[in-house]
Structure 1
């Protein structure tokens, strides 16, 4: 087969098909530049993970050292999530004004100050001030990392890259657990201060490294800097053709004429974030309303199914299950962190292969089963006077099973999905709303767990979480369309109606239009397809 060029058929005059015509299309190589950008941006999520992980062990020693009640322990553990609201809401506007990259730097500076304050805290009030400052920094980081990653990623690997924030949250949790065990041997008044203060070190490193990252190409287009955006898109796309298509789509979404090729063009004021709230809440189109409901819903259910109760209070759960040694409880929490980290890494490779919906629904189904079984095991232990080793092993296994199922779907997909479905001009502040709901729900769950299990038993608490997870399964099944492989500018065609769910040809038509280059299905003001 020295010559594989097409030859002309002597009878029909049409080109003959050769073996080359039947070769499968080559899968694009993973874009190393986009991968590096996603990793650098997502490392900011280590801050939240570290704080959650380290606080689970630190509160054991803080309670003994500062002589605080269980109510104060609940508030101390969960209040950071509410403080995150300030950071996540402010980050939406900040990122539209100064850019995604410098917003990440701001998050690191604020968290550094918070970690130092917590490390040098002399009493409960001082410690709460440090929690407040650190919470604002975490809120900034949580909102901006998935937005930046989604905007810099090519469609072929967006799920893989956008799951990185959750990967680093889990890595932070594991580091926090290890820190707990390492510093637990220090004197009581020093150990927890080292645990909390150590978070200042990664914030300095990350805040410096982030400065070498490029700015988000979508933010650059929103500022009219087309030349700069084109250079970055050329580096972060799988091909020159894809870079041109992405630039054209972004320009259209930003309201810049496609014919405009100047390096710098004037843009309307709304590109800096003005009037976004009106489009989100006061006068949303059916598509935007559906997108907002989907984003808020997935963030709410991610936290209300009890993940922070398990991660933050795992030592208490293991104590209720029958483990009494402090060292054994801390080692068991390390097993939780290790399990979460391993399964989140597995999830990153599945997101772009089997899709968001199958992975999410399978994950939630596994969580429901694990939570219900954990509730049964803890109830049996709670109602017996003697230790039953099989029940102890069952409870430990179900905790690990729960975090594994959470990490393989619900954990990463929440951040991936909510960061990719909003229209361009609404993305930063829309995502900040999802993060705000996430943190409020997390704060409520983590600040009520001890009171909850005292009121309805610890087994009853996990039965309640299993019920919430069941409701979330129904919500996801009917409200969340598949977004795998779509460009960010193409998402709107999936939302605003339920044709994706009940019309099997609807998604196929969108795919066909994309492949043929004959335009996209758009939503009009009445929410119908045009």
Structure 2
């Protein structure tokens, strides 16, 4: 509807049984119209309008409070630095796969949602996936990318990995998931089950590095060699870096000048 393709939009809404909410279509149109008329360019306006500034600060505050609540500190210090990164990812993949298999199986026996006990079980496994995710991919995905990116590309590498690996893929599934569930129903879960088994688990098992209690400098060695090229393999022995020919020559000139 936002791109003036109302017929296509109505077909999608019909597939997900949107007709059960008779006023929803009108509400969507009103919301889109309001958004188009109210959207303003630039960043500065968010801070200049008092009510907008207050609401923006609410959004920032809840994110700040999430970090200052201590949750991430406890998780990183008392969990990740003890069990590592690979193990939670591998166990999380197994757990989520099993939960999705159970969810798909339950939904296949409760297509119309009329069996109350199966509906409760279905909700349970959905929450179970969220819980497992919170102890595996949820936090580790952010920790791991920051650790494995070498210094020269850390900022841009993290931005690229987040933009492509997270937001782009998330946007794709946000667009297709409701359509897929409307078309093939519970079978859509099998897409993620197969991907977990065939791709995610093997890639993590064979290729991901364990960075637990490894310094950012020594993480370079997990990938073969020092990223800077001039650093020794062991920073704790000898000099902190090997001087390049140009640097050696400069030092000699400095010594000669000092003696003169």
**TM-score bucket (shorter structure):** 0.5 to 0.7
Name which of 234, 237, 260 aligns with 1:517: 237
Shift of the alpha carbon at 1:388? 2.2
Counterpart in the other structure of 1:417: 144
Check 1:462–1:429 CA distance in 2 against 1; reply closer, same or farther (3 A cut): same
Check 1:198–1:354 CA distance in 2 against 1; reply closer, same or farther (3 A cut): same
Check 1:205–1:372 CA distance in 2 against 1; reply closer, same or farther (3 A cut): closer
Check 1:202–1:442 CA distance in 2 against 1; reply closer, same or farther (3 A cut): same
Q: CA RMSD in A?
A: 4.0
Check 1:464–1:204 CA distance in 2 against 1; reply closer, same or farther (3 A cut): closer
Count of residue pairs brought into register by the alignment? 199
Counterpart in the other structure of 2:243: none
Do the aligned residues in 2 keep the contact of 1:359 with 1:408 (CA within 8 Å)? yes
Shift of the alpha carbon at 1:519? 7.7
Check 1:402–1:493 CA distance in 2 against 1; reply closer, same or farther (3 A cut): same
Q: Which runs of 5+ in 1 are unaligned?
A: 1-60, 70-121, 137-195, 210-340, 498-509, 521-530
1:401 matched to 2:128? The reply is: yes
Check 1:398–1:124 CA distance in 2 against 1; reply closer, same or farther (3 A cut): same
1:476 matched to 2:204? The reply is: yes
Check 1:368–1:130 CA distance in 2 against 1; reply closer, same or farther (3 A cut): farther
Shift of the alpha carbon at 1:469? 2.2
Measured in 2, the distance between the counterparts of 1:366 and 1:430 equals 29
Measured in 2, the distance between the counterparts of 1:413 and 1:129 equals 40
Check 1:387–1:519 CA distance in 2 against 1; reply closer, same or farther (3 A cut): farther
Check 1:476–1:126 CA distance in 2 against 1; reply closer, same or farther (3 A cut): farther
Check 1:208–1:364 CA distance in 2 against 1; reply closer, same or farther (3 A cut): closer
Matches within 5 A, 1:111-126: 123-126=31-34
Deviations 1:135-184 (A, max 9, x none): x9xxxxxxxxxxxxxxxxxxxxxxxxxxxxxxxxxxxxxxxxxxxxxxxx
Counterpart in the other structure of 1:450: 178
Name which of 105, 110, 116 aligns with 1:376: 105
Shift of the alpha carbon at 1:359? 1.3
Shift of the alpha carbon at 1:517? 3.1
Counterpart in the other structure of 1:64: 24
Check 1:475–1:127 CA distance in 2 against 1; reply closer, same or farther (3 A cut): farther
Q: TM-score, normalised by structure 1?
A: 0.33
3-state SS in 2 of match to 1:352: helix
Counterpart in the other structure of 2:14: none
Check 1:491–1:199 CA distance in 2 against 1; reply closer, same or farther (3 A cut): farther
Measured in 2, the distance between the counterparts of 1:133 and 1:380 equals 50
Name which of 127, 130, 154 aligns with 2:35: 127
Measured in 2, the distance between the counterparts of 1:127 and 1:203 equals 19
Shift of the alpha carbon at 1:201? 3.1
Measured in 2, the distance between the counterparts of 1:361 and 1:393 equals 28
Do the aligned residues in 2 keep the contact of 1:347 with 1:407 (CA within 8 Å)? no
Q: TM-score, normalised by structure 2?
A: 0.63
Shift of the alpha carbon at 1:345? 8.1
Measured in 1, the distance between the counterparts of 2:192 and 2:120 equals 21
Counterpart in the other structure of 1:429: 156
Measured in 1, the distance between the counterparts of 2:38 and 2:106 equals 38
Counterpart in the other structure of 1:201: 57
Counterpart in the other structure of 1:351: 80
Check 1:129–1:419 CA distance in 2 against 1; reply closer, same or farther (3 A cut): farther
Deviations 1:210-244 (A, max 9, x none): xxxxxxxxxxxxxxxxxxxxxxxxxxxxxxxxxxx
Measured in 1, the distance between the counterparts of 2:38 and 2:94 equals 38
Deviations 1:403-445 (A, max 9, x none): 1111101111110000111111210000000111110000001
Measured in 1, the distance between the counterparts of 2:178 and 2:24 equals 17
1:466 matched to 2:193? The reply is: yes
Shift of the alpha carbon at 1:203? 4.4
Shift of the alpha carbon at 1:128? 6.3
Deviations 1:299-324 (A, max 9, x none): xxxxxxxxxxxxxxxxxxxxxxxxxx
Measured in 1, the distance between the counterparts of 2:53 and 2:180 equals 30
Do the aligned residues in 2 keep the contact of 1:347 with 1:409 (CA within 8 Å)? no
Measured in 1, the distance between the counterparts of 2:26 and 2:187 equals 31
Q: Which runs of 5+ in 2 are unaligned?
A: 1-20, 44-51, 226-232, 241-260
Check 1:391–1:129 CA distance in 2 against 1; reply closer, same or farther (3 A cut): farther
